[in-house]
Structure 1
Amino acid sequence: MRQTRRAAMRVFLLAAAGLLTGCDSFGPDRLRGTHPLYNEAIVGSMNEQFVHNVVRLHYRDPAFFLDVANVTATLKLDMSAGLDQSEIGLNGGSDLIKYSLGAAYTTSPTISYTPLQGEGFVKSLLSPISIETLFSLSGSGWSAKRVFGICVERINGIENAPSASGPTPARAPKPDREFRRLVDLAEEVSREHLIVPQVNPATKEPELHVLSTPAYRDRIAEFKALLGLDPAREVYRVTSDFTKAGPDTISIRTRSLMSIFFYLSQHVDAPKAHETAGLVTVTRNPDGTQFDWGSTPAGNVFHVRQSDDPPDMAFLAVPYRGHWFYLADNDLESKSTFMLLMQLFRLQAGAAKSVGPTLTIPVR
């Protein structure tokens, strides 16, 4: 009987040791399992927040931004073990020893949100995008057509729908054929590295080197003519002061981050019932017909669609005012512009500190 007990005890101890050994990888294994899920959930919620704010601006509803300040997850491992002895047979002829082992884990995630507000954040939203940022983005792989199409309001007097930098205007913006032609030319010659932004080592001011080759002579000449530049020069000053435009200077007035949000919000499809009810502004051409915001440089590369039911082919979809608004998953232009918007937000507003109370939500 004692031998039976000893054998049972050895089996119990070996099983317990095996269970404890398996716990050595509990933490790393759970990290590998949960990290991608938290990452996906946070990215998804932040993306939806941006689309929500674009739609809100289309309805002239206030935009608001929350930032994920902290994510904590507590993992708890509970273990149990036991022995149970009972006698069977007559006169206590033998013993039956039972052992039990158990383990269970629980996770308690907590997410903290912080409102993005305060003077620093507001200034970052309202400050124009710097010319250096424009050149950095276009030089890092983003197309000049996309960057200049949404970030630039006017260049040497050529306008890109400046009235779209705020709430939806009732009147259509002036025709932008010259601006669209300008960015098309810039996109084309930039692929050949004929437009090179640099910084003057003496003045520390940005400059633009506009080079030429026999194959692109006509397009370079047209580019300079549109901007009113001296065709004999190759180096031009670049400034954000629109009063200093001249034959040797390129004056670029950029949009602020908030103006870019407004500009992109113009190409949001709204239900006809909402237009009839006056919930959104319908922009009209001089002849009274409805203006097509999809014809603008920003509208060409960004479009928020609308559906009465949850859409099937959606990259991002948010419910608002009883309808669904979404970016189509096969609309690669809109998805690319959305990525650029996220990058601009991080560059422009990422340095601003969050101010205000923190909302902490335990996730069950």
Structure 2
Amino acid sequence: MKALYSGMAECLYRPSVNILNAARIRLFGWTVIMTIISTITGCNSFGPDALRGTHPLYNDAIVSSMNDQFIQNIVRLHYRDPTFFLDVASVTASMKLDMGGGLDQSSVGLNGGADIMQYSLGGAYSTTPTISYSPLQGESFVKSVLSPIPIDVVFALSTSGWNAQRVFGLCVERMNGIENAPNASGPTPQKAPESGRDLKRLMQLVEEVSIDHLIAPRTDPKTKETQLEIKSSTKFAKQIWEIKDLLGLDQQRQFYHVNSDFIAPSPDTISIRTRSLMSIFFYLSHHVDTPQAHQDAGLVTITHNPDGSVFDWGTTAAGSMFHIRQSNEQPEMAFVAIPYRGNWFYLADNDLDSKSTFMLLMQLFRLQAGATKAVGPTLTIPVH
């Protein structure tokens, strides 16, 4: 009887296996519920955190690809290869959050004397970007890159912080009797352009007097035409006189008409011929270093001086501010570097003049061709 009572007491006070399993399952259930609650709470910041993590990366990638494209097209022009522009039409990214869990129970010993219960929880999120490219082509785009830069855009850039020497040296082909390498607006010429000493001197003088804002564009209140005001100054009297003398202007006037008519020059008028966007690309393409083997093979045009020596495009207004170098191996210190025809072409990261001119070129492209709608098929690429 004593043994019977002892066994009954043991049965009364020892929880059954089913009761233990139920408790463990309830514990697992509460754990899962709390995990889900904490995950849902964390999802409130999942979207913003993902945006902060991915937006700078996409931004950097797009800027880098556009820089590569511009340098590649300039190098193509140097080799007289066709150019092509692609625009990133859109970038979309879908974000996915996956969660999973598992429960495993095993028994060891007789009558389930020992139970092992294991559970697992996991979660992960992923992004699937889709990038759409649109080719820039068609009548509207071609007209935008072949049309001369509007003179008011040139004035706006030169009065908005950009160096006047950089803006005029790049965008202006001729101003009254002063020329800026007009034969550089197309494929590399065989004959060297005329000396640009007068242009360099003019730009130097304009830069000197810009400290006191003595030269500024204006709109005539009556005729609404664009004019250029050249103010008198005791401090810069010599510079102002020389500027007017170089341009063949009336020394007594303060306001001068601005147009693009070179047929009937007048001492009260400044005639300005600007370059087109494509002409600027051509102008910059002449100062690209190339391997000697490519020169010997006739892959590029070599410009010569009248005495037969090789002309240095680095002495021109644009060439002195922009230089694409060449290397047989990928350069270490490059702002932009592209592989082309078995070599590397790049802008040196410490060449601040070239980087500034490149930045100006990007702004001009957006002003001239930025509003052009892409014509043709759009290439959409999902990135895995």
Name the TM-score, length of structure 2 as normaliser. Answer: 0.92
Aligned to 2:16: none
Query: Structure 2 CA distance, aligned partners of 1:284 and 1:12?
Result: 80
Q: Superposed, which structure 2 residues align to 1:318-337 within 5 Å? A: 318-337=338-357
Q: Superposed, which structure 2 residues align to 1:32-71 within 5 Å? A: 32-71=52-91
Query: Structure 2 CA distance, aligned partners of 1:319 and 1:4?
Result: 63
Deviation at 1:284, TM superposition (A): 0.4
CA deviation profile, 1:211-241 (whole Å, cap 9, x unmatched): 1211100110000001010000000011122
Aligned to 2:137: 117
Aligned to 2:102: 82
DSSP-derived class of the 1:300 partner: helix
Deviation at 1:273, TM superposition (A): 1.0
Rg comparison, structure with higher value: 2
Does residue 1:276 correspond to 2:292, yes or no?
Answer: no
Aligned to 1:248: 268
User: Structure 1 stretch 234-243 or stretch 166-175: which is displaced more?
Assistant: 234-243
CA deviation profile, 1:184-230 (whole Å, cap 9, x unmatched): 11111122100011111221211111012111001100000010100
Aligned to 1:211: 231
Q: Which runs of 5+ in 1 are unaligned?
A: none
Aligned to 2:149: 129
Runs of 4+ deviating beyond 4 Å? none
RMSD of equivalent CA atoms: 1.3
DSSP-derived class of the 2:45 partner: helix
Query: Structure 1 CA distance, aligned partners of 2:269 and 2:233?
Result: 22
Does residue 1:148 correspond to 2:168, yes or no?
Answer: yes
Q: Which runs of 5+ in 2 are unaligned?
A: 1-19
Aligned to 1:157: 177
Does residue 1:231 correspond to 2:251, yes or no?
Answer: yes
Alpha-carbon contact 1:131-1:240 (below 8 Å) kept: no
Query: Structure 2 CA distance, aligned partners of 1:63 and 1:4?
Result: 70
Query: Structure 1 CA distance, aligned partners of 2:312 and 2:28?
Result: 82
Query: Structure 1 CA distance, aligned partners of 2:237 and 2:328?
Result: 52
Structure 1 vs Structure 2: percent identity of aligned residues? 66
Aligned to 1:101: 121
Alpha-carbon contact 1:207-1:237 (below 8 Å) kept: yes
Name the TM-score, length of structure 1 as normaliser. Answer: 0.97
The amino acid across from 1:174 in the alignment is E
Query: Structure 1 CA distance, aligned partners of 2:29 and 2:181?
Result: 83
Query: Structure 1 CA distance, aligned partners of 2:29 and 2:172?
Result: 78
The amino acid across from 2:168 in the alignment is F
User: Structure 1 stretch 235-244 or stretch 351-360: which is displaced more?
Assistant: 235-244
CA deviation profile, 1:306-361 (whole Å, cap 9, x unmatched): 11110111100011111110000000000000000000000011111110111112
DSSP-derived class of the 2:167 partner: helix
The amino acid across from 2:175 in the alignment is I
The amino acid across from 2:235 in the alignment is A
DSSP-derived class of the 1:82 partner: strand
Query: Structure 1 CA distance, aligned partners of 2:334 and 2:137?
Result: 30
The amino acid across from 2:367 in the alignment is L
DSSP-derived class of the 1:281 partner: coil
The amino acid across from 2:244 in the alignment is K
Query: Structure 1 CA distance, aligned partners of 2:32 and 2:328?
Result: 62
Deviation at 1:89, TM superposition (A): 4.4
Task: Give the total of aligned pairs.
Answer: 364
The amino acid across from 2:52 in the alignment is R
